[in-house]
Every structure is written in structure tokens, then in C-alpha cells.
Amino acid sequence: MKKYISLLMMSVVLLSCKTEMDRAMKSADKEFILKVANEKFAKKKWSDALALYDRLPNLVAGTDDAPNVVFNSAYANYYDKNYRLAANQFKNFVISFPQDPRKEEAAYFSALCYYEGSLDYNLDQSNTESAITELQNFINDYPDSERSKNISQMIDELSYKLEFKAFENAKQYYKMAEYKAASVAFENVLEDFPATKLRPQIYDIILKSKYELAVNSIYDLKKERLDAAAAYAKRVAAEIPNTDYAKNANDLYTKLEDEKVKFAKVQAEVEKRKAEYEAKVKDAQAKENAKKELAQEKNQLDMQKAAEQTRRDSAKINSPEPQATFKFKR
């Protein structure tokens, strides 16, 4: 019996609450809507509170209730994980009510909303970039605030997320054996994040990319790339000594020096064969030129003979033989 009575009482309470919510949603009475909204807020029923607060801005505009409506709406959206909307509302509170004692709190939570809305590194990072800007602005505006103490750590966390995203994007080139593109991409990461904690790993992958690019290079670029990779290996070993990365750099440097010796022998052989080929070509060209000269001389002699014969024939035509003379007897 007690069980049925309890269920009946709960049903009555739920029906009463639902009825009150429905009445507030249909009402035009500012005081009643605000009362129910604040009750829902106090009970952490964020969606109900927001639905009612959304009906109040025009009703409370210019009244003392306006700051509380904006402030509570922002908090309700924050707790309901509507971070982008909450950030805008907190920021609007700071701008609209600059004399309110809760201004610093609103500015902090506006930045915090961007921080909470930052997605995993492999997703869109626009919120992360906005969060860094907003958190830095809070430190600049409230340098002595107690809330500023943990902000530097939050900024470092967000910055690392951006670094890691850039790192992973660059790493894809290496995985695809696009070694030249990988080197450029990782150099850009170092340029964009000079204080990155990933520097040793980046050095290591750049070196491996340069090594692969050099040993598998085309002939004309191989010496240049071997020299560049060897120089980079020495740099890595010097900048991060006594690490596994330095050991790997030294190992690759040894391999690169061996490869340079082998390639020098190949170059010498290529130059030797090139010289032999050029000598053969030169000799063949000389013989061909000699043949051409002999042919030209013969052709010239033939032309001279033909010209002489033509001259003689012409002379005969122009100078006819004298007529025969007859003597008469007397």
C-alpha cells in the first residue's frame, strides 16, 4: 500500500512540475517565467532553464534582471556543454555589463568555454586556436587574478595539441615515402613551434627522410644530397647528445660516409667511361672530318677540271678553224 502511495505522490509531483513548465512556456508574465527558469537552473535542469531563459531577453531588457538572465543562460549552456554558445554569451555579458562585479568571472569562463570545446588533435582545431587567444587575453586583462594561475598550463596543453596535429600531418608524408615533402613539412613544424617538445622526434624523422632521399637519389643529385644528409646527421648528434636519437644519427652518419666513398668510386668510373667515350667520339669526328675534307678536295678538283674543259670547249666554238685555200693553174 505504501508503495502505491509513493508512486502516486511522485506522479502528482511530476505532473505538477510539467504543468508549471508548460504554463511558464506559454506565459507572458516576466516574473513567473523568471521564477520557474531560476528554479530549473537551481535544480540543474539545464535544457528546461535554457528554454525559459530564451524567452526572457526582450522582457527583461533594461531591467535589473537582465544581467542575471544573460549570466545564468551562459552558465546553463556551459553545463549543458554548448561551449560555443556559452562562450559568446559570457563575452556578451562582459561587453554589455562592464560594471558588473562578475565581469572577470564571465571573461574567464568565456575563455574556458573555448578550452572545453577544443576537439581531438585529428579534428578541426579552430576552437583550439580561439581558446589560446582568449586565454592569453584573459591573462593580459587580469594578470593578478587567481584564475590566471592555471591558464599558462592550459595554453601549453592547447599549443601541444596544435603541434602534435602538425607533427602527425607531416609524418604522413614520411609514411608514404614522400621524403622530400616530409623534410619540408617537419621544417615548417619547427619554424611554427620553435619551443616544441617534439624537436628530437622531428630531427630524427627529418634525418631519416634525408638519408632515404640521398641513398636512393638520381645520379646528378646524389652527391649533394649525401653531403646534406651527412651534415644534418652531425647537427642532430651535436644538438641532442647522449640520446637514442644521437646514436641513430651517428649510425646514419657512418652509413652516409660509406655511401659517399662508394659513390665516389662510381663517379670516378663514370668519369673514366665518359672520357673514353668522348675520346672515341672525338676520334670518330676527326676521321669523319678528314673524309669530308678529302671529299671536298676531290669535288673541288673535279669542278676545276670541268671548268677547264668548259673553257676549252668554249674557245673552240668562238675560234673556228681556217678555210682551205685552192690554187688555180695558169
DSSP string, 91-142: HHHHHH-TTSTTHHHHHHHHHHHHHHTPPPTTS--HHHHHHHHHHHHHHHH-
Give the other-Cβ count within 10 Å of 178's Cβ. 15
Give the largest Cα separation in the chain, rounded: 194
C-alpha span between 218 and 221 (Å, rounded): 6
Give 66's pLDDT tier (boundaries 50, 70, 90). Answer: very high
Lowest-confidence region among 58-62, 235-239, 249-253, 254-258: 58-62
Q: In this structure, what are the phi and psi dihedrals at residue 87, rounded to the nearest 5 degrees?
A: -60, -45
Could you give phi then psi for residue 143, rounded to 5 degrees?
-65, -25
- The whole-number pLDDT of residue 8 equals 43
For the chain, what percent of residues have pLDDT higher than 70?
91
- Mean predicted confidence (pLDDT) in 73-85: 95
pLDDT for 184 equals: 97
Query: Average pLDDT for residues 243-251, to the nearest whole number?
Result: 96
Backbone angles phi, psi at 324, to 5 degrees: -70, 145
Give the distance from CA 292 to its chain's centroid: 63
Q: What is the mean pLDDT of the chain?
A: 88
Instruction: Kindly list the structural domains of the chain, giving each domain's residue range(s) and its CATH number in brackets, ordered by start.
Output: 179-284 (1.25.40.10)
What is the distance between the alpha carbons of residues 10 and 4, in angstroms, rounded to a whole number?
Answer: 10
Q: Work out the pLDDT band at 272, boundaries 50, 70, 90.
A: confident
In this structure, what DSSP letter does residue 323 have? P
CA distance 97 to 102: 9
More confident residue, 21 or 201: 201
- Read off φ and ψ for residue 242, nearest 5 degrees: 60, 35
The secondary structure element, H or E, covering residue 36 is helix 30-42
